[in-house]
Amino acid sequence: MTSIIAWCGVDSRGPASIYIAADSRVTQGRHVLSDGTRKTFAAARSAQIFAYCGHVLGPASTLGSVSETLERMTSANDIATAQEQFREAVEAGWSLHAPVPVETVLLHAVRCGGPAIKTTTFGVQIVRIAAGSKVVDHQVLNVPTSQSSYLAILGSGERAVHRSLARWIPVAQGDGRDRTSRAVFSGFCDSIADASDPNTGGAPQLVGLRRTGLSFTFGVVWEGAPYVSGVPEISENEDIEYFDRHLQRVDRHGRLLPGAQRHAQRPIH
């Protein structure tokens, strides 16, 4: 399995960003097959991001084509249509693939409208393909408008992620509304570093949507080295935007960028 999380960043003007993070490990039974498997995707020419957990074979062989299919589709003017297009693309890809023995779960986020803030909307959905099935089911998630919040935590590491998040910002009355983006990502990275879920590991992966621009694949400096989509980044590409495990803006060597905000380095107790 894996660990994936989606959250929404909210400022004084409303929803400002959606992020999806994942680990990079693939296992078979108790054996680690890879700590560098891509699990997050950002569409090249549209404001859509997605990630998966569950059986790796189906997503690994179809999500690349799903992303390409989305690029060829006419851009949707509303969230519901964009989400339906994504499900259609997933179902088309899965129709050519043999059924897999465990459930596959996708997290999908999209932005429509803009560039004016009042016309910008975000949507997030969970898409499920049951074990042995090719039928796509879905659940649309509510996007908060007043406070930053995590939206979904999925995978075998779900409990471990919840425990780590609770160390950063205690949950008030059983909900997750009083969380900042930096606390969510810091807690998620802690859950990977703690290694309490044997099926979760490798470097964190991070993709995101903002009010403007398309979709973003971010670099993460992990254990002193730069990673993109779970694998070491050997290029010196200056267009890659890097974060460290506390969601601080850094260069590929982990050095805080000039003017970047410094965040808390340990949980709030």
Mean pLDDT of the chain: 89
Checking if the pLDDT of 268 tops 60, the result is: no
* Separation of alpha carbons 112 and 122, rounded Å: 6
Q: Give the confidence band of 269 by pLDDT, cuts at 50, 70, 90.
A: low
Q: What percent of the chain has pLDDT over 70?
A: 92
Q: For residue 267, tell me if it sits in a domain.
A: no
- Per-residue pLDDT tens over the stretch 185-196: 999 999 999 999
The pairing of beta strand 14-22 with beta strand 149-155: unpaired
Average confidence (pLDDT) over 194-217: 95
Assess if residue 255 is contained within a domain: no
Burial class (CB in 10 A: 0-12, 13-18, 19+), 244: buried
Q: What is the DSSP string of the chain?
A: --EEEEEEEEETTEEEEEEEEE---EEETTEEEES----EEE-SSSSEEEEEEE-SHHHHHHHHHHHHHHHHSPPPSSHHHHHHHHHHHHHHHHTTSPPPSS-EEEEEEEEES-SSGGG-EEEEEEEEE-TT---EEEEEEPPPSSS-EEEEEEETTHHHHHHHHHHHSPPBTTB--S--HHHHHHHHHHHHHHT-STT--S--EEEEEESSSSEEEEEEEETTEEEETTEE--S--TT--EE-TT--EE-TTSPBPTTPPP--SS---
In a domain, 180, yes or no: yes
Q: Is residue 37 situated within a structural domain?
A: yes
pTM of the model: 0.93
Question: Quick one: pLDDT band at residue 75, thresholds 50, 70, 90?
Answer: confident
For the record, the structure tokens of 167 come out as 């160390």
State the average pLDDT over residues 77-90. Answer: 93
Whether residue 176 has pLDDT greater than 50: no
Work out how many domains the chain is built from and give that number. 1
State the sign of the Cα–Cα–Cα–Cα dihedral 218, 220, 225, 228.
Answer: negative
pLDDT of residue 172: 59
Indicate whether 86 belongs to any domain.
yes
Residues in CB range of 44: below 8 A, 6 or more apart = 67, 71, 214, 215
Domain CATH for 144: 3.60.20.10
Question: Tell me, what's the pLDDT at 77?
Answer: 87
The token duo for 89 is: 């693309």
pLDDT at 174 over 60: no
State the pLDDT confidence band at 74, using cuts at 50, 70 and 90: confident
Q: Higher-confidence residue: 125 or 120?
A: 125
Domain of residue 226, residue span: 3-250
Answer yes or no: is 114 within a domain.
yes
Tens of pLDDT, residue by residue over 126-154, are 999 998 888 899 999 999 998 888 999 99
Domain-located, residue 225: yes
* 32 pLDDT higher than 60: yes
Please check whether residue 265 lies inside any domain of the structure. no
Q: Is the backbone of residue 254 left (phi > 0), alpha (psi -120 to 50) or beta? A: left
Q: What is the pLDDT of residues 215-260, one digit of tens each?
A: 999 999 999 999 999 999 999 888 999 999 999 999 999 999 998 8
Alpha-carbon span 57 to 104, nearest angstrom = 10
> Who wins on pLDDT, 73 or 151?
151
Residue 118, pLDDT > 90, answer: no
